[in-house]
Amino acid sequence: GLSSFFITRHLYLLVFAFGIWLFFRNQVGKYSGALKISMHSFTLPILISTTLNIANLTVPIPAWFVILHAIFAFYILSRLEKPLS
């Protein structure tokens, strides 16, 4: 149900943030910085996903959500002027 949706998404955010921290440690600093980037870059993809679910539409690209999330995360990382603390 709804609780499993939220648990799954939160676990996804934690794993995605760990990947950001692992590969971009110099830019994000602590894990909390990677988690912030993960959450901020997660917003638009989750809105798109929810809208598509409400409209009963699907995207024919496997892992489109992860790809879109990664694009927004890379964009945020590219716009950082100084490392997060």
Q: DSSP letters along 11-75, please?
A: HHHHHHHHHHHHHSHHHH-SHHHHHHHHHHHHHHHHHHHHHHHHTT---SSTTHHHHHHHHHHHH
For range 31-39, the mean pLDDT: 94
Mean pLDDT of 5-14: 93
pLDDT at 84 over 80: no
pTM summary value: 0.87
Residue 83 above 80 pLDDT? Answer: no
On the question of pLDDT at 24 being above 80, the answer is yes
Asked whether the beta carbons of 28 and 83 are under 8 A apart, the reply is yes
- Note the pLDDT of residue 81: 84
| Percent of the chain whose pLDDT exceeds 90 | 86
Task: Provide the residue count of the chain.
Answer: 85
